[in-house]
């Protein structure tokens, strides 16, 4: 698949040409074929090595990274069900377009008949559920879509999975898993000195997005305990890395800085997030899928707590280094403070000791190494950014930021999730 750019100012005029490369080649170089598992194989991996998995939302940011990583490491077929909303991009998976082990189906997880037909036709050994509306600001402007996809969609999948599971026998039944990928935002917010979220932290969601994900987590738990569905939940911290849609903090800052646009920072920029490199998250999901206990929840974090303003300053320093001929150096001059998001959570932090202790998973990337690789990827794939930042995206930016007058004389940034 050939990606084209519609940039008015050609990025190669200011970017080193050596940074341009193919999407998957760069991603694979970032460790896409790594594997941190040391556990013995369990029922899932003991099942037929050729049995496929069904992935929902596999054209989105985390989902597409997972599909690429799975095909590179596991090799068994993937059926990718994605509605292709604004954040779903088939170009993310261009490198596997002709892979016989990759099947793409455009469709809605709320379509019960479609989901049932895919389960019947492909007989997957697992469902890995990423599909979700995931942007907090969008949930504030339009919560209906979040309730439909995150709650109704998860319910539809659970019902279909339950009915499919009841038809299985023997090894196929023993092997089947429903993997539900969720967020740390279900736990609410933390004070500066509070301990990190653990798996037994009570839910206290503070945005429509977080409430919808908390609801979906509760549904999954109920289907395990009421119907015996072999499901597992993961709750992750803020992801970053290749293919992230540039409404989120890190890719938005990179895209804006390269064009000399303001870098909008909410409030004082001291909101703290725990940052997790997306391929570390993919490895964690594979680890939980293959070795996790049914009915359990596993928190997945990167052990990298950073204030948003610190993240933006670090990005600016990296861009100064990687793009020495940029007319916008130093990029910190582009930082612009804007009015804070309504109900903005102050701090997230993940206690990931359970998955580390029980499943021997640990993140392989530090924030420094992961962020450097991420910046390199976006610099090397400027055409991808231009391709996804369409007119509809520009309309969204205007809608979200036009009413946010600058609070201070210097900073711009969108808080990831």
Encode pLDDT of 348-396 as tens digits: 999 999 999 999 999 999 999 999 999 999 999 988 888 887 655 445 4
Return the half-sphere exposure (C-beta side, CA atoms, 13 A cut-off) of residue 119: 29
Catalytic, out of 102, 164, 165, 209: 209
| For residues 166-189, average pLDDT | 97
Q: What is the pLDDT of residue 137?
A: 75
Range ranked top by mean pLDDT from 24-33, 243-252, 401-410 = 243-252
Question: Model pTM?
Answer: 0.84
Q: What is the pLDDT of residue 44?
A: 53
pLDDT tens readout for residues 242-283:
999 888 999 999 999 999 999 999 999 999 999 999 999 999
Inter-axis angle of helices 112-122 and 154-167, nearest 10: 40
Is 185 labeled as catalytic in the residue annotation?
Answer: yes
| For residues 86-115, average pLDDT | 95
Model confidence at 341, in pLDDT bands (50, 70, 90)? Answer: confident
- CB burial of 260-292 (b: ≥16 within 10 Å; e: otherwise) equals ebbbbbbbebebbbbbbbbbbbbbbbbbbbbbb
Catalytic, out of 69, 184, 274, 414: 184
Q: What is the pLDDT of residue 141?
A: 83
| pLDDT over 90 (residue 295) | yes
Q: How far apart are CA 115 and CA 104, in angstroms?
A: 13
Q: How far apart are CA 172 and CA 159, in angstroms?
A: 18
Model confidence at 167, in pLDDT bands (50, 70, 90)? Answer: very high
Model confidence at 333, in pLDDT bands (50, 70, 90)? Answer: very high
Is 209 labeled as catalytic in the residue annotation?
Answer: yes
Q: How far apart are CA 217 and CA 150, in angstroms?
A: 10
Q: Rounding to the nearest 10 degrees, give the CA dihedral for residues 243, 312, 373, 297.
A: -60
Catalytic, out of 185, 217, 274, 376: 185
The tokens describing 156, both together, are 């539809």
Task: Tell whether omega for the bond before 330 is within 30 degrees of 0, i.e. cis.
Answer: yes
Q: What is the pLDDT of residue 6?
A: 31
Q: How far apart are CA 398 and CA 52, in angstroms?
A: 42
Range ranked top by mean pLDDT from 78-87, 110-119, 132-141 = 110-119
Q: What is the pLDDT of residue 165?
A: 98
- CB burial of 310-339 (b: ≥16 within 10 Å; e: otherwise) equals ebbbbbbebbbebbeebebbebbebbbbbe
Return the half-sphere exposure (C-beta side, CA atoms, 13 A cut-off) of residue 189: 11
| pLDDT over 90 (residue 4) | no
Percent with pLDDT over 70 in the chain: 81
Residues contacting residue 264 through CB under 8 Å, at least 6 positions apart:
252, 256, 336, 337, 338, 401, 404, 411, 412, 413, 414
Three-point CA angle 185, 345, 109, nearest 5°: 30
pLDDT tens readout for residues 37-59:
333 345 454 456 689 999 999 99
Annotate 78-109 with DSSP letters as a single string.
Answer: EEEEE---TT--GGGGGGGTT-TTEEEEE--T
């Amino acid at each position: 698949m050939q990606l084209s750019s519609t940039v008015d100012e050609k990025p190669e005029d200011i970017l080193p040409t050596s940074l341009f490369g193919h999407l998957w080649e760069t991603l694979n170089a970032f460790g896409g074929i790594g594997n941190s598992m040391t556990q013995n194989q369990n029922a899932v991996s003991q099942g037929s090595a050729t049995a496929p998995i069904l992935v929902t939302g596999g054209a989105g940011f985390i989902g597409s990274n997972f599909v690429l990583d799975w095909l590179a490491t596991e090799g068994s077929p993937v059926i990718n069900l994605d509605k292709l909303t604004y954040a779903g991009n088939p170009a993310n998976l261009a490198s596997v377009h002709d892979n016989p082990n990759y099947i793409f189906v455009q469709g809605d997880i709320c379509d019960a008949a479609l989901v049932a037909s895919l389960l019947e036709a492909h007989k997957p050994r697992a469902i890995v559920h990423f599909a979700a509306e995931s942007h907090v600001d969008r949930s504030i402007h339009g919560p209906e879509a979040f309730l439909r996809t995150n709650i109704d969609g998860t319910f539809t999948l659970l019902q279909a999975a339950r009915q499919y599971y009841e038809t299985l026998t023997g090894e196929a039944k023993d092997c089947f898993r429903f993997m539900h990928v969720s967020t740390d935002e279900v736990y609410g917010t933390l004070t500066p000195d509070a301990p990190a979220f653990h798996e037994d932290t009570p839910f206290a969601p503070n945005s429509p997005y977080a409430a919808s994900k908390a609801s979906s987590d509760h549904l999954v738990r109920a289907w395990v305990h009421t119907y015996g569905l072999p499901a597992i939940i993961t709750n992750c911290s803020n992801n970053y890395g290749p293919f992230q849609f540039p409404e989120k903090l890190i890719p938005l800052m990179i895209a804006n800085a390269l064009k000399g646009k303001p870098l909008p920072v909410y409030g004082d920029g001291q909101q703290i997030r725990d940052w997790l490199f997306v391929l570390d998250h993919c490895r964690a999901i594979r680890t939980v899928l293959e070795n996790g206990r049914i009915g359990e929840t596993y928190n997945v974090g990167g052990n990298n707590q950073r204030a948003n303003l610190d993240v933006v300053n670090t990005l600016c320093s990296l861009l100064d280094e990687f793009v020495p001929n940029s007319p916008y150096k130093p990029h910190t001059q582009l930082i612009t403070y804007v009015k804070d998001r309504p109900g903005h959570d102050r701090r997230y932090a993940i206690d990931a000791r359970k998955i580390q202790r029980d499943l021997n998973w640990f993140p392989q990337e530090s924030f420094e190494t992961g962020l450097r690789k991420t910046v390199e990827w976006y610099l090397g794939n400027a055409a991808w950014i231009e391709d996804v930042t369409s007119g509809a995206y520009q309309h969204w930016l205007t809608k979200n930021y036009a009413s946010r007058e600058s609070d201070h004389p210097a900073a711009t940034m969108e808080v990831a999730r």
